[in-house]
Structure 1
C-alpha cells in the first residue's frame, strides 16, 4: 500500500468512528473518543515524521505548513475533549468543531496535496514511503495519546516547524 492509500484509509476509519460517536450512547462515547484520539495521534505522527518531510522535498512547503497548523488545532481540540467529563455541556460543540477541523484538513489533503504529490513522485517512492509509514504507525508510543489527554499538545518535529 502506498503512502497516499494508507493515509486515505486512515481518513475513512476516522470518519466511521466520528459517525459512531454522533450516534453513541453516553456510555459508549468515552471509548469512541479514546479510539478517535489514538487514530488521529498516530495519523498526525506518521504524517509529521515521514509524509510531510517527503512532501516538502517535493516542493509542497506551503501545503505542509497549512497541514501542520491543522494538526496543532486538532491536537488542541482533542486535548480539550479528553479533559471533559461525559456530562460536560461543551462536549458536543467541541466534537463538532473537531469534526469540522478534521474534515477540512482531509478535504485539502485528498483534493490538493495527494494529487500534487502523485504528479511529483514515482509510484515506487510512494509505495516505499507507505511501507515506512505503516511500520511507524505500529510503533507510535501510547505516551503520545496520553500527553494529549493531559492537556499537553505535542509539537511537530523540529524540522517541520
Structure 2
C-alpha cells in the first residue's frame, strides 16, 4: 500500500472510531478516547514528518501551514480529551469539537492535498510506507506518553 492510501485508510479508521464512540455504552468511551488519541497522533506524525515537507512542492504552502495549524488544534483537543475522558459533559463536548475539526481537515486534505501527492514519486518521502508507519508508531508512543502525562489517573 502506498503512503497516500495509508493516509486515506487512516481517515476512514478515524471516522469509524468516532462512529464507534457515538454508539458505545458510556463505560467504553474512556478507552475509545485513548484509541482516538493514538490513531490521530500517529496520523499527524506521518503527515508532519513525511507528507507535508514533500507536499510543499506540489501544494500551496499556505494550505500546508493551515493543515499544521489544524494539527496543533487537534493536539490540544486530544490532550483535553484525555484529561476529560472520565468527565462525561467535558468529554462529550471535546469529542464533538474534535470530530468537527478532524472531519474538516480530512475533507480538505482529500480534496486539496492527497490527489496532488499521487503525482509525486514515492521515493520523495525518504522511506517506504511501511517504514514510515513503523517510525511513526514509535513516535506515537512517545507523544501519547506526553499527552497522557497531563491526564488525571
Q: TM-score, normalised by structure 1?
A: 0.83
Aligned counterparts of 1:47 and 1:26: Cα–Cα separation in 2: 32
Deviation at 1:132, TM superposition (A): 3.8
8 Å CA contact 2:29, 2:85 repeated in 1: no
Distance 2:127 2:142 in 1: 27
Query: Structure 1: which 5+ residue stretches go unaligned?
Result: 153-161
Q: May I ask how many residue pairs the two structures share in their alignment?
A: 151
Q: Give deviations 1:117-144, integer Å, cap 9, x for gaps.
A: 224x236657965344223233225220
CA distance in 2, matches of 1:77, 1:113: 23
Deviation of 1:16 after TM superposition, in Å, equals 0.7
Partner residue in 2 for 1:155: none
Q: Which runs of 5+ in 2 are unaligned?
A: none
CA contact (8 A) 1:2 1:128 kept: no
Which 4+ residue blocks in structure 1 deviate beyond 6 angstroms?
Answer: none
- Cα distance in 1 for partners of 2:62, 2:49 equals 17
| 2:141 maps to 1:142 | yes
Question: Counterpart in 2 of 1:27?
Answer: 27
RMSD over equivalenced CA pairs, Å: 2.2
Equivalent residue runs for 1:1-20 within 5 Å: 1-20=1-20
d(CA) in 2 for partners of 1:138, 1:85:
23
Q: Does the C-alpha gap of structure 1 residues 136 and 37 become closer, same or farther in structure 2, counting only changes over 3 Å?
A: same
Normalised TM-score (structure 2):
0.87
